[in-house]
A and B are shown apart, each in its own frame.
Chain A
C-alpha cells in the first residue's frame, strides 16, 4: 500500500530560523511527490513538486525539498523563516494507477 506520513502536526520556529517539515512516503513504484501550502481561509496551493530528474527541487517563496529514495523521504526546508510562512503544509504522493494521497498536514507557527 502507498501512503504518506508527516511527522509532527505542529512545528514552531523563530523568525529567521531554519524551517524543516518532514514527510515520508511508502511506494512500490517511483513516486511523484508534492508539497502544498494552505493559508488561513484559502485553498491549497502548490509549493513544489518532484517528478523525475534532479532530486533537489526548488519551489516558491524560498522553499525547497529533496527526494531521498534510500530514506523514502521528501522533507521541506527553508533556510530562514518569515512571519508570512505561517500556514498549514501538506505533503502528497502520487504513484500512478489512480493512487494519490495527502498527508495529514503540519501547522507551522513562526515566532517573532
Chain B
C-alpha cells in the first residue's frame, strides 16, 4: 500500500486566501483524522471521521476551518479565509478503528500564510 497520501506537501499563500488540503487514506481504513502541529501548541486533533461521517470536530479552531469526506478514499481540509496564525504542519492519518488500532500518518502539508 502507498500509505496515507497528502497534497500539496508545501503551500504558501497570502492572508485572506482560501487553502484546501487533500488526503487519501489507506484503503480499507474506516477512520480518518486531521491534525495540526505547531511548536507552540504541539499536535492537535482537529477533526475525526468514521465511515466518512464527522464524529468529533471539537478541535476545529474556528468557522474558517471546514473538513469533508465525500467518500472513503478522499478528504479535504479547507481554511477560508486563511490567516498567518494558521501556519503549521497539517497531518492526515487513518486507521482501522480510532481507539484500538494504530494510526498511520501522512507526510504532512506545511502551510505558510504570509
Q: Which residues on A are within 8 Å of B, measured CB to CB?
A: 32, 34, 36, 42-46, 49, 51, 90, 94-100, 102, 104-105
Contact = CB atoms under 8 A, between A and B. Distances in A.
A45 B103 CA distance: 8
Contacts of B102: 34, 46, 49
Nearest to A48: B102
Given A43-B105, A43-B108, A44-B91, A102 B100 contact: no
Contacts of A32: 99-100
Given A95-B99, A98-B99, A100-B99, 19 more contacts: A32-B99, A34-B102, A42-B107, A42-B108, A43-B91, A43-B93, A43-B106, A43-B107, A44-B105, A46-B102, A46-B103, A49-B102, A51-B100, A90-B43, A98-B50, A98-B98, A100-B103, A102-B45, A104-B42
